Structure 1
Amino acid sequence: MKKAVLAFSIGIALAGCDDNSVTTKANSDSTQTQTQVQAEVSAASQYQALVESFFKEYLKLEPLDATFIGVNDYNGVFGNNLTEEYLKARHDFNSGYLQQARKIDRSQLPADLQLSYDLFVYDRNMALTAETFPSRFLPMNQFYSTMITMVQLGSGESAQPFATVQDYLNWESRVDGFIEWLALAEQRMQEGMASTVVLPRVLVERMIPQFKAQQVEKVEDSVFYAPIAKLPEDFSEEDKAKLTAQYQSMIKDKLLPAMAKIEQFLSQTYLPAARATDGWWGLPNGKQWYQHLANMHTTTDKSVDEIHQTGLNEVARILSEMDKVRQQVGFDGDLKAFFASLSSESQYFFDERQGLIDGYMQLKDKINAVLPSYFNVKPKADYVVKPVEGFREQSAAGASYEAPAVDGSRPGVFYINTFNLKAQPKWGMTTLSLHEAAPGHHFQIAIKQELTGVPEFQRFSGYTAFEEGWALYAEYLGIEMGLFTDPYQYFGKLSDEMLRAMRLVVDTGLHAKGWSREQAIQYMKDNSPMAESDIVAEVERYMAIPGQALSYKVGQLKILELRAHAEKELGEKFDLKAFHDQILTSGSLPMAVMEQKIERWIASLR
């Protein structure tokens, strides 16, 4: 009995002691929880205020980007990115916001904002590193050019609105800024000549016809006159007459002469000073500059040599797969003969440009029918298929994608280059549509723009490795979707994948290993069935924008690696739709940040 009483007494005593300690501990835990919550709220509010301020200031600094995003506050401003004032403002902008971000305790942010924070800091650091290289001396090339952007905007078929009288006046004002930019671009290229930072000769030769194409005998034939030909019916006759006269004067007396002047400079002054080397290694500090560009575009710290070797390995693997297709279809000849057959026989090509466009529209319906089985989230915006504009079709890539308007007023555009139908084989259509449209670029970019609850900068920033890696992953997904049952269409998938693998070899070869343009062209001819005109345009593109072409394969391999890792870790819990949600619903991410997100997702499901 005493034992029992003693035990009972001790139990009461202990229980009483526990009640006090639990109460004290509960109060302590509650206080700590409240403090933690307050810290998180404080950190989150600081960060959100910071990035909101950043985005507003960014749009003011980059008014052309604002227009494409759908913010119309700066439609009358050009934003001359070659002035000393701009360069200083951009530096102060990035360094200032980086310093402010570092004052925020990242550990106190919720997981989604930690991810956003990492993006923000990554962007600022990369932008500040880029300033150390003299890109201002190379303000244009045949592939990416402010002139091309302004022609597209001025046509009235792009993001620049032409719905009100003020819209028309805004464009006049923006053109004035563009004319000033052309004059400063010439000055910067002259500085580049003095510093031996100039483009390869062949790229200058490609730019000259683009400017010549803008010179027309009649103002009415200029693409910049197109908005006048489409004046809204509700404009008064007085406004119509006034705007028509103003645009005629603007085009004839200011814009065309300014473009003629830069064309003359390119032809007579810049072309003779252009360099004989084809890669970035031929520039001062060129190899270091190229390594930076490779890191920037792939969002990795991979060395150029590692990327080159990965390309060689992938080329060998894909060649083996291509040969299996050759055997499957019973082709009598070796792989090179198979390439020659696929790239020359008339049965593999359209006879008319419109037939090619119509073929892609039919593919759109076929692909859309199977997408619901693989995606929970899909874009609200649609896309249309259009041919590349005539003025740039000779130097443009085979296909490209332009994002839809954020407000839904304009769909995405899947551009097809119809200039050379022999460069657009029927067997390559499925994979190209998957890449450029749905579920490739159109899904990733449109969904990103439509996100809610994330900082604005995150909706509109982009990383080539993520975006192009996703698009190449979308091609791979086509196998699982059952879209490659035709061996020729599967060969098309392999052919496009081969292009991305060759890019690793050729881009690094050109810019770090001393390859010539001709050597790069020959390598691609030896390892693919691509049309020579397409190969030439591709190689010259790599010469113009070094490192960008590396991002496709590097990004795809990383996404596939993360998917395989998630499948292994989660087993039966792995859901492909949910994996795609994780990839697509935070915007465009650097590879390391995306890897962290997938790891957190895996951990949450264990």
Structure 2
Amino acid sequence: MSFAARRHMTLSRLVLSVSLALGIASPVLAQESPEPVLAPPANAAETALRDLYTREWEWRQGEFVREKVDGRWQSSDKLPSVTPEAWARRADYWKAALDALDAIPLDQLGREERINAAVFRTSIEASEASARWRTFEAPFNSDSFFWGGISPRQPFQTEADWRRFIGRLSDVPRYFDEQIANMETGLERGWSVPRATLEGRDKTLESYVLTGETNPLLVTFDRIPNTIPEPVRTQLREEGRRVVLEQTIPAYAKLLTFIRSEYLPRTRTTIAASDLPDGRAFYQTQIREYVTRDMTAREIHDFGLAEVERITAEMREVMGRAGFEGDLPAFIDYLRTDPKFYAKTPRELLGEASLIAKKIDGQLQYVVGTLPRYRFTILPVADDIAPIYTSGRGGLEACFFNTYDLPSRPLYNLPALVLHECAPGHSFQAALALEAPARPDFRQQTYFSGYGEGWGLYTEWLGTRMGIYETPYEEFGRLTFEMWRAARLVIDTGLHEYGWTRDQAIDYLASHTALARHDVVTEIDRYISWPGQALSYYIGYKTILDLRAEAERELGPAFDQRPFHDTILNLGSVPLPVLEEEVRRFIAEQKAAGRAQN
């Protein structure tokens, strides 16, 4: 999926990109909840703002061919247009929307509408910039692919859903042709995915060009549930298989031929964003988008170096508690090579992750005040993407763990991974978003990485307060994950601003963490092909951690982490400056309430 299109997913799909990347079907539970009702605007400024963001949201659904089904926006029976003309039209619309927003007197807005305005502005600025930079000419990266989210990993539940799916399958040839044309244009002007990051990515297409029964698209039509009665079920299966064989498979085959014979040989051999046309300016817009702050590459790089040094000292202390005699590199080598730290079967790894998730469940009542109704399951990453996929990713319906190449999946990392991806991290966060208080559609379905990934990394630290880490090895695994995100600040800016080589980045991450070599290479390729995104995690995490320290300092013994966390989660996804403002409001209100009681 292109960087531009990624910004227009709903929150349940974007929080977790896994929901798109792994083709998760929409939940039924959400359809049972009535639509929240917004309070009426208080004045003319609020009316103008609400009209603006409501019009834009409804226009956006039309642009990306989504329709409202049982109160929720879902994909229709078509795929969106990705032509240059479509993206130019969108860029013009978003520019006009920003101009209209500038004309609204923000000082006349109430608190909630000021937050709406800030979220709207930050989101639309990123969308407009992406369209202007024509990032759609490099419509995939080493981590995510526009062709990868078409087939669902779980079956649809209604006849209407299946018919919409068949419609999308019949639209694949047109959609792929537009993507190919965009990639051709990108190649001509030097805007492409770096070649060094693409090894093996073409293989993710191979299963979709097969005409036999193992093609995932054909397998999908063997999974139509019995809740859909005959003869409708047979009709859907026959129609779907015909579309796949006659239209979809040839389109996948054409794309695979293009990727292998045209795209891969002609992609750029440089790796830095700064090597793209006007690349330094582009990289700065990526920093602004993902960090939602005005920070320079130098500020981020230096901050990362300081945090790497701090975490290294903590790692040595934990190594001492483990009773290891030797230096830190020797300890890391020991963790990477001793079989006792690794699962022998996929079921063992998934079972360990499930046990950790249930242990976390027992602590959630002490962490947050509001628990969501919706529940996630635990599943393996699908076989077709597992070799080049990350170690885990959490979404609304499922928390996925990669069971490919088990010697690169250490068990001592699992507690931190489950906290981040499942609960109280992404799956938990997505469920709360599903049940959020009344907000405009665009607020409920906008996602900022600094907020979402910052919270995910913060939950790894929170596990130290929940009793989740039982051994020094698991604590070292947590520090490895914290180091991994701090090192990204150094690596991402090093790669895209300061001329680092791919090998230099791999060596830096490998020498500072206990991540397996497979994960190290996968992650570095992700940072190269997705400039700026990796910066969001640690800066968001540090923002939340600093706010907690401020709340503890200001409130003293009266500090309760449950309303503190509820304040963050109830906000929904917001830019980091808005998060700071709202948490400080919470702190002031708590202090005032304490004084009133005294």
TM-score (norm 1): 0.87
Report the more deviating stretch, 266-275 or 49-58.
Answer: 49-58
Cα gap change, 1:40/1:319 in structure 2, threshold over 3 Å: closer, same or farther? same
Query: How far does residue 509 in structure 1 lie from its aligned partner after superposition?
Result: 1.2
Query: How far does residue 281 in structure 1 lie from its aligned partner after superposition?
Result: 2.0
Cα gap change, 1:526/1:234 in structure 2, threshold over 3 Å: closer, same or farther? closer
Cα gap change, 1:469/1:133 in structure 2, threshold over 3 Å: closer, same or farther? same
Q: Deviations over 1:327-386 (max 9, x none)?
A: 112112211111011111111111000111111111111111111112101222111111
Which amino acid in structure 2 is aligned with residue 293 of structure 1? Q
Query: How far does residue 239 in structure 1 lie from its aligned partner after superposition?
Result: 3.8
Counterpart of 2:200 in 1: which secondary structure? helix
Q: Counterparts of 1:419 and 1:173 in 2: how far apart (Å)?
A: 33
Q: Counterparts of 1:69 and 1:84 in 2: how far apart (Å)?
A: 31
Report the equivalent of 1:149: 149
Give the aligned length. Answer: 553
Report the equivalent of 1:507: 492
Report the equivalent of 2:35: none
Report the equivalent of 2:223: 230
Is 1:519 matched up with 2:519?
Answer: no
Report the equivalent of 1:489: 474
Is 1:358 matched up with 2:343?
Answer: no
Q: Deviations over 1:374-433 (max 9, x none)?
A: 210122211111100000001110111122xxxxxxxx2111010011222111111111
Q: Summarize the alignment of residues 75-154 of structure 1 with structure 2, pairs less than 5 Å apart.
A: 75-80=76-81, 82-151=82-151, 153=152
Mapped contact 1:465–1:552 kept (Cα < 8 A): yes
Which amino acid in structure 1 is aligned with residue 385 of structure 2? R
Report the equivalent of 1:260: 253
Which amino acid in structure 1 is aligned with residue 195 of structure 2? R
Q: Counterparts of 2:40 and 2:145 in 1: how far apart (Å)?
A: 48
Report the equivalent of 1:179: 173
Query: How far does residue 322 in structure 1 lie from its aligned partner after superposition?
Result: 1.0
Report the equivalent of 1:17: none
Q: Deviations over 1:240-282 (max 9, x none)?
A: 4443332232222221111111111111111221122122122
Query: How far does residue 470 in structure 1 lie from its aligned partner after superposition?
Result: 0.5
Q: Counterparts of 1:497 and 1:534 in 2: how far apart (Å)?
A: 15
Is 1:60 matched up with 2:62?
Answer: yes
TM-score (norm 2): 0.88
Cα gap change, 1:499/1:343 in structure 2, threshold over 3 Å: closer, same or farther? same
Q: Which structure has the higher relative contact order (CA within 8 Å, separation 6+)? A: 2
Query: How far does residue 130 in structure 1 lie from its aligned partner after superposition?
Result: 2.7
Counterpart of 2:514 in 1: which secondary structure? coil
Mapped contact 1:204–1:266 kept (Cα < 8 A): no
Query: How far does residue 42 in structure 1 lie from its aligned partner after superposition?
Result: 4.2
Q: Counterparts of 1:68 and 1:289 in 2: how far apart (Å)?
A: 40
Query: How far does residue 156 in structure 1 lie from its aligned partner after superposition?
Result: 4.1
Counterpart of 1:40 in 2: which secondary structure? coil
Q: Summarize the alignment of residues 7-46 of structure 1 with structure 2, pairs less than 5 Å apart.
A: 40-46=42-48
Report the equivalent of 2:201: 207
Report the equivalent of 2:191: 197
Report the more deviating stretch, 325-334 or 57-66.
Answer: 57-66
Query: How far does residue 303 in structure 1 lie from its aligned partner after superposition?
Result: 0.6
Mapped contact 1:63–1:78 kept (Cα < 8 A): yes
Mapped contact 2:395–2:430 kept (Cα < 8 A): no
Mapped contact 1:208–1:267 kept (Cα < 8 A): yes
Structure 2 gap segments, 5+ residues each: 1-38, 593-598
Counterpart of 2:393 in 1: which secondary structure? strand
Q: Summarize the alignment of residues 371-386 of structure 1 with structure 2, pairs less than 5 Å apart.
A: 371-386=364-379
Mapped contact 2:45–2:105 kept (Cα < 8 A): yes
Mapped contact 2:480–2:514 kept (Cα < 8 A): yes
| Greater Rg over alpha carbons, structure | 1
Report the equivalent of 1:26: none
Q: Deviations over 1:497-547 (max 9, x none)?
A: 011011111111111111121111111111112111111111111112111
Which amino acid in structure 2 is aligned with residue 514 of structure 1? G
Is 1:533 matched up with 2:518?
Answer: yes
Over aligned residues, Cα RMSD in angstroms?
2.3
Cα gap change, 1:64/1:209 in structure 2, threshold over 3 Å: closer, same or farther? farther
Q: Between the two proteins, what is the percent identity of the paired residues?
A: 29
Mapped contact 1:40–1:108 kept (Cα < 8 A): no
Report the equivalent of 2:164: 170
Which amino acid in structure 2 is aligned with residue 602 of structure 1? I
Q: Deviations over 1:140-183 (max 9, x none)?
A: 223111211113x3x444xxx3521x433321211232221211
Report the equivalent of 1:325: 318
Mapped contact 1:162–1:227 kept (Cα < 8 A): no
Query: How far does residue 554 in structure 1 lie from its aligned partner after superposition?
Result: 0.6
Query: Which of 46, 70, 73 does residue 71 from structure 1 map onto?
Result: 73
